[in-house]
Amino acid sequence: MKELWKIFSKGLVLENPIFVLALSLCPALAVTTSVINALTMGLSVTFVMSMNNLVVSITRKWVNAKVRVPIYITSIATIVTVVELLLKAFLPLLYKDLGIYLQLIVVFAIILARAEVFASKNSPVPSFVDGFGMGMGFTLSMVIVGTIRELIGNGSILGINVLGQAYQPALIMILPPGAFIFIGYLVASFKILNEHLEKRQKARGETV
């Protein structure tokens, strides 16, 4: 369990897909104008990444290395199609809001990277946990960005006005340039945090 927790938790901070690895920045800029859109995209990516890692791990011994990438992409596309159909059937408004970005999940670098780097070399359970952890790290990042952008850009959270009618929204936060600047600050903050955590780990190692 300790090893599985280590695999899961690395995606939250140490290898956060957006704030550390700087992968899949496109949705972080495009669909985080509201918390609900950010959360929906994050959970969709989490499902796709977890299930794809599981499929890749189960089939890893039967897949020819020369055709592994097309097979990985086919697997991702199939799972994304399932997500699209579910959202279209049960959450049509969210499906419409996310638009083409749902389809673009197929080419998200982080999903293919985890399949290649981890799932293709490990057993199903750790691979699923790795995908789930990375997905939750992605979701956490999206929700953080979405919350701040909606709060400052609209004065609301989840569509509920929390700053009052007197608040003058900073519209730049709803636009891509505002998101880009804000994400830049978050990337810098995570870098400082990771350096601090690494120093603590080294200090503990020296003490032991």
Over the stretch 40-94, which tens digit does the pLDDT of each residue have? 999 999 999 999 999 999 999 999 989 999 999 999 999 999 999 999 999 999 8
User: Is position 5 within any domain?
Assistant: no
pLDDT band of residue 111 (cuts 50, 70, 90) is very high
Identify whether the C-beta of residue 51 lies closer than 8 Å to the C-beta of residue 124: no
Neighbours of 188 (CB within 10 A): 11
User: Is position 3 within any domain?
Assistant: no
Count of residues in the chain: 208
| pLDDT of 142 over the 80 cut | yes
User: What's the CA gap between 170 and 179, in Å, rounded?
Assistant: 12
Find the domain containing 48 and state its range. Answer: 22-207
Strand partners for 161? 156
H or E, element range at 157: strand 156-157
Question: How many domains is the chain partitioned into structurally?
Answer: 1
pLDDT band of residue 208 (cuts 50, 70, 90) is very low
Over the stretch 145-174, which tens digit does the pLDDT of each residue have? 999 999 999 999 988 899 888 889 988 898
Neighbours of 178 (CB within 10 A): 19
pLDDT band of residue 177 (cuts 50, 70, 90) is confident
DSSP character for 66? G
User: Is position 158 within any domain?
Assistant: yes
DSSP-based three-state secondary structure for 160? strand
User: Is position 46 within any domain?
Assistant: yes
pLDDT band of residue 207 (cuts 50, 70, 90) is low
User: Is position 4 within any domain?
Assistant: no
- The pTM assigned to this predicted structure is 0.91
Which residues have C-beta within 8 Å of that of residue 36, sequence separation ≥ 6? 94, 146, 158, 159
User: Is position 7 within any domain?
Assistant: no
User: Is position 60 within any domain?
Assistant: yes
Tell me the chain's radius of gyration from C-alpha atoms.
19
User: What's the CA gap between 19 and 128, in Å, rounded?
Assistant: 22
User: Is position 203 within any domain?
Assistant: yes
| pLDDT of 206 over the 60 cut | no
